[in-house]
A and B are shown apart, each in its own frame.
Chain A
C-alpha cells in the first residue's frame, strides 16, 4: 500500500485513514451501488472509483462525520450514475424506481408509466437528475437531498417541481407553454 500512498502524494497515515473509512462505510456504499446498478461487476467498478475519490478527497475534506457520510453518499451515487451513463443502462435505475413505487406506493405514483420516468430522467441535466433520483428512488425529503447535495432546499424544490412539470407535459396532462 505504500506505493499507492506515494503515488497519491500523500503520507501513508492518510491512506490508512481512508482505508478505515472505506471499511466502515462499505455496507452503505455497496448497498447504494447495488441498488442503482444491479450488477456485481458494475458495482465493483463503482466501488473502486468511489474509494479513490475518498482517498483523493479525504485530505481536503473539512467537516464532521455526518457531513462526510453525506459526501460519500453523493460521491457513490455520482459514480454509479457515471457508470450507468457509460454503460447506457439507464433502464436499471428505472427498474429500481418502479420497484420502489410498487413496494411503497409513494408519491411517485402520479407518473403512470415507467416510460415516462425513463424518458424524462434522460432529458434532465445531471444535477437535477441526481436530485430526482434521490427523491424517486430513495424517498428522501427535500431537506435531506439539499444536505447530501450541498445545496439549498429551495433549489431542490425547484428541481423537483420542474421535473414534475416536464413529466406532466410529456404525459400530455399539461399543455406546453
Chain B
C-alpha cells in the first residue's frame, strides 16, 4: 500500500499512456494544502519536471488557486443557510411570480376600495382644481361657458374664478352657492324637456348595467358614475334622483383607445367637465384602462330641469366649440356636420329632488 502511494495514481497512469497523463485536481489540491507525505511529494515534483504538459497544467492550477484564496474584500462568509439561494434565479422567479399574483389579487379584491379612495379626498382634490383653475389658458372658452344652474362642479367653479364671474377667490367651493355662480347667465335656459332633447338630437340614452358587466364589455366605450351619499357609496343609475350634497365620481373605459371629452349639459348650456382647462380639447384615453376623472361633482340646490353628463369618445381630439355645436340644437346644415364629431356618445341623466 505504501509503495502505491509513492507515485500519484494519475501520474502513474499518465506514464502508462505514454507520458501524456494529467494530474487530477484532487492530487494537486492535496499538494497545495500540504497533505502529501514525503514520498508522494517528491514523486509529484519529479513528474512536474519530467512532463512539460503536466507542469503547465499545474502552473495554471496554482495561479487559479492563488486567485481563489479567501479574501475579505471579495468573498464573504456564509451568513445563514439558504442565504445565497435568494440570489438564485429560480427563487427570484418564484418571488416575482408570487408578488405578481399578490398584486393581481389585491387589485381584484380591492378594486372597489381603490376606485373609491380618491373620492374620500374630494374636498382636497377640489381645492387643488380651484387653484389650477387660475391658470386657465383658454379664458375665452371658459368665459363663453355658462355655469349650470343648480349643479356645480369644481371645474366650473375654477372657470368662474378665472373669469371673475363667481364669488371671491378664497371662498371654498363647498360653501359657494349656486345662485352666486352666474345665475343670471343660466336663467334663459331652455325649458324644453330633456326627453325631447335626448330622443331626437342626442340619440338613445344608454342605460348602464352593473360595474362588472359594463367594464367587461367589448370595444365600445363605457362610462360609470358612482354616487357617494352620507358616506355610503353606490353605483348611480342614469335617471336617478339626486339629493343636495350628493357627490358623483366619473370614470370611463375604452378598449380601443382615443380621445374623450366630458361635458355637463343643461338645456343649451354646455359646461366642460373634463378637461376643464388648457386647450379645451378632448384628452387621450389610454386603451383598455379604466380612467377615473380627478375630483368629484357635488350636487347642490334644486334642479328645475334635467341635466345630462355627456362623454364624447372620438378617434381625434374634439374642441369644446365643436362638441357644443354637436350637442345643442343648430341649423340643419351645421347639425349634420356637428353630429359626426363623436364616434361614441354616452349620456347620463341627472335628476334632482
Contacts and interface: CB of A to CB of B under 8 A. Distances in A.
B84 A44 contact: yes
A73 B26 contact: yes
Given A23-B70, A27-B69, A69-B35, A48 B26 contact: no
A26 B78 contact: no
Interface in B313-346: none
A143 B4 contact: yes
B180 to A, nearest CB: 69
Contact of A86 (B23, B26, B82, B90): B90
B33 A41 contact: no
Interface stretch (A30-38, A115-123, A124-132, A165-173): A30-38
B118 to A, nearest CB: 43
A70 B69 CA distance: 19
A94 interface: no
A87 B25 contact: no
A163 interface: no
A136 B68 CA distance: 24
Contact of B77 (A22, A140, A142): A22
A60 interface: no
A14 to B, nearest CB: 15
A65 B37 CA distance: 12
Given A27-B32, A41-B89, A48-B84, A140 B26 contact: yes
A66 B77 contact: no
Q: Give the interface centre of A19, A35, A51, A104 by most chain B CB atoms within 10 Å.
A: A104
A52 B78 contact: yes
B30 A141 contact: no
B29 A28 contact: yes
Interface in A65-92: 65-66, 69-70, 73, 86-87
A137 to B, nearest CB: 9
B26 A144 contact: yes
A65 B34 CA distance: 10
Interface residues of A, number: 42
Given A87-B90, A105-B20, A141 B9 contact: yes
B3 interface: no
B204 to A, nearest CB: 60
B66 to A, nearest CB: 8
Given A45-B87, A139-B24, A31 B10 contact: no
A148 interface: yes
A102 interface: no
Interface string A1-35: 00010000000000000010011111110111001
B2 to A, nearest CB: 13
Given A22-B70, A26-B68, A69-B35, A47 B26 contact: no
Contact of A4 (B25, B80, B90): B80
A135 to B, nearest CB: 10
10 contacts: A22-B70, A22-B78, A26-B75, A28-B32, A28-B33, A31-B25, A31-B64, A65-B35, A138-B25, A141-B24
Nearest 6 A/B pairs, CB to CB: A141-B9, A27-B68, A26-B70, A48-B84, A23-B70, A44-B84
Interface of A: 4, 19, 22-28, 30-32, 35, 41-42, 44-45, 47-49, 51-52, 65-66, 69-70, 73, 86-87, 104-107, 134, 138-144, 148
Interface of B: 4, 9-10, 12-13, 17, 20, 22-27, 29-30, 32-33, 35, 64-66, 68-70, 75, 77-85, 87-90
Given A31-B25, A73-B29, 10 more contacts: A4-B79, A22-B77, A26-B68, A26-B75, A28-B32, A31-B65, A45-B85, A87-B90, A104-B20, A134-B26
